[in-house]
Amino acid sequence: MQVILLEDVKSLGKKGQIVRVSDGYARNFVLPKNLGVEATQKNLNELKNQQKRDSINAQHALEEAQAYGERISKETVQLTMKAGEGGRVFGSVSSKEIVTAAKQQFGFDIDKKKLQMPEPIKAFGTYEIPVKLHPQVTTILKVSVKEQ
Task: Indicate whether 18 pLDDT > 90.
Answer: yes
User: Homologous superfamily of 66-147 in CATH?
Assistant: Ribosomal protein L9, C-terminal domain (3.10.430.100)
pLDDT (0 to 100) of residue 5: 96
Residue 122: per-residue pLDDT: 87
Q: What is the mean pLDDT of residues 16-21?
A: 95
> Using an 8 Å Cβ cutoff, are 69 and 131 in contact?
yes
Q: Which segments of the chain belong to CATH 3.10.430.100?
A: 66-147
Cα separation values, 68 from 41, 72, 75, 86, 99, Å: 41, 6, 12, 38, 15
Answer whether residue 17 shows pLDDT above 80: yes
Average pLDDT over residues 4-14: 94
Task: Give the class (CATH, top level) of 2-65.
Answer: alpha beta
What tens digit of pLDDT does each residue of 107-130 get?
A: 989 999 999 998 889 888 999 999
pLDDT at position 89 is: 83
- What single-letter amino acid sits at 136? Q
Q: Percentage of residues in the chain with pLDDT exceeding 90?
A: 83
d(CA 143, CA 5): 46
Mean pLDDT to the nearest integer, 133-146: 94
Q: How confident is the model at residue 36 (pLDDT cuts 50, 70, 90)?
A: very high
Residue range(s) of every CATH 3.40.5.10 domain in the chain: 2-65
**Structural contact between residues 89 and 143, judged by C-beta atoms closer than 8 angstroms:** no
Q: State pLDDT tens for residues 63-104.
A: 999 999 999 999 999 999 888 777 778 888 999 999 999 999
